[in-house]
Structure 1
């Protein structure tokens, strides 16, 4: 209990509260400057609280609660992120461990990495014949690069002394990978996964705007068509807070696997 109420935790909460106050203050100013064309926090809170009263209602294809919309997006992000990671981690290990792999694959990475998710969407539709599959595809193809690059960097930066220890003790290839390569590169891999989940969560909004159906991105687009800026701002806040929670989750995981020299 003392750790929960430690000075560091209290200060972290205080800084977070200060950030929220600053956000609300800027929001109020923007609302005043635009003559309330951008709804102020009070008006948005009224609509947001109404949305939370029954977040899981389902009255048809285009009329679902915010909880259902959010859960649909989280499932797509999870699927795309998992698929991207399953490609990125082995490919990053290969690039980091093998100079041949780095020379062969790095140009491919640098060519494909800057491509916008919107450019991938038509190919996803062609390949999967459905908007659902196309959305998961663009999440996977655009979120895998940070994990791949960080994994490759972590593996390639293993000190020579570590490699010499493995040779001195006669480690097999598997033992070297499990005892030296993975433990050393793991913090870099988690950093890459942390960046990738952020990219995946950003891409989902654009993907669902194009694909329609269920999801927080579709909810934003549908709210725009219904001229409800309060719902759009509410969705933006939800997207931001979910992104914050995902980042905190991977930050905690990163701290667990990071070696502290102290």
Structure 2
């Protein structure tokens, strides 16, 4: 029994040893690529393929109210292969629609990041500011983004700055909250070092506060960019003009369901890319301590 068990144990170990020997004989870059494909790329590919197959099976019937993936590709092929066409007015390709939305997001999100970090530092540093402003922030951040749109339209009398304001007011709250939490959680040892070194306000801000609070700040910025992209798509459905949100609403009015599906796919991909971009910047700035 012992000899048989030993043979079975050896047989079970041999494939692992063979695999390890094969990996050692491969170039390092090839091993890294194979590991990435196996552990990082393959799982999402399999899940997406399974979802597409299920979608095709559920919507392939002629009486289905929603198009199958094959029909979406067939109906929107011109939009896919020619994303940069420009026929004037609102009749432009998907790339121009997305770029118009991204431009608005860039303005609103940048403004929210600057103002949000400044207010977050103020609230985190000052007990009086926290007691005075925190209740106001907690009330305003619960207002739905689109509820601000009529007020912004009345104030700006223009759809473009109104959409930018909606992005700003949507993205600023997680930046303020996370920044203030990060500032309040700066270790007391860091503050003592600043006192010993007699750092002035600017030096303390640049050398102590920002590096210590950076992981929290980038967590808020990452949440904010996602909310910005959600807000702009919803706002553009109402304010009109060139933009992916208005494209979706216009396609709905024209009963072009396949166009809507394609636009939603692009919206998801762009939103994912924006999130990854902010996460990457956070890792670079905080040297991997942001948890992004």
* TM-based fold match above 0.5: yes
- Is the 8 Å Cα contact of residues 30 and 38 (structure 1) preserved in structure 2? no
Shift of 1:214: 0.3
What is the CA–CA distance in structure 1 between the aligned matches of 2:61 and 2:185, rounded to whole Å? 51
With the length of structure 2 as denominator, give the TM-score of the two structures.
0.84
- Is the 8 Å Cα contact of residues 282 and 288 (structure 2) preserved in structure 1? no
Show the counterpart of 1:152: 180
Is structure 2 residue 253 aligned with structure 1 residue 225?
Answer: yes
Greater Cα radius of gyration, structure 1 or 2: 2
Structure 1 residues 12 and 160: CA distance shift in structure 2, 3 A: same
Show the counterpart of 1:196: 224
**Higher relative CO (CA 8 A, sep ≥ 6), structure 1 or 2?**
1
Alignment of 1:167-186 (within 5 A): 167-186=195-214
Show the counterpart of 1:106: 134
When the two chains are superposed, the root-mean-square deviation of aligned CA atoms in Å is 2.0
Shift of 1:257: 3.0
What is the CA–CA distance in structure 2 between the aligned matches of 1:75 and 1:13, rounded to whole Å? 31
1:68-122 alpha-carbon deviations (Å, 9 max, x no partner): 1111111011111111112111000111111111111110110000111221001
Structure 2 residue runs of 5 or longer lacking an equivalent are 1-27
More displaced stretch, 32-41 vs 122-131 = 32-41
Is structure 2 residue 93 aligned with structure 1 residue 77?
Answer: no
What is the CA–CA distance in structure 2 between the aligned matches of 1:35 and 1:180, rounded to whole Å? 64
More displaced stretch, 9-18 vs 102-111 = 9-18
Shift of 1:62: 3.3
Structure 1 residue runs of 5 or longer lacking an equivalent are none
With the length of structure 1 as denominator, give the TM-score of the two structures.
0.93
Runs of 4+ in 1 over 6 A off after TM superposition: none
Show the counterpart of 1:20: 48
Aligned length: 261
What is the CA–CA distance in structure 1 between the aligned matches of 2:209 and 2:62, rounded to whole Å? 55
What is the CA–CA distance in structure 2 between the aligned matches of 1:249 and 1:260, rounded to whole Å? 14
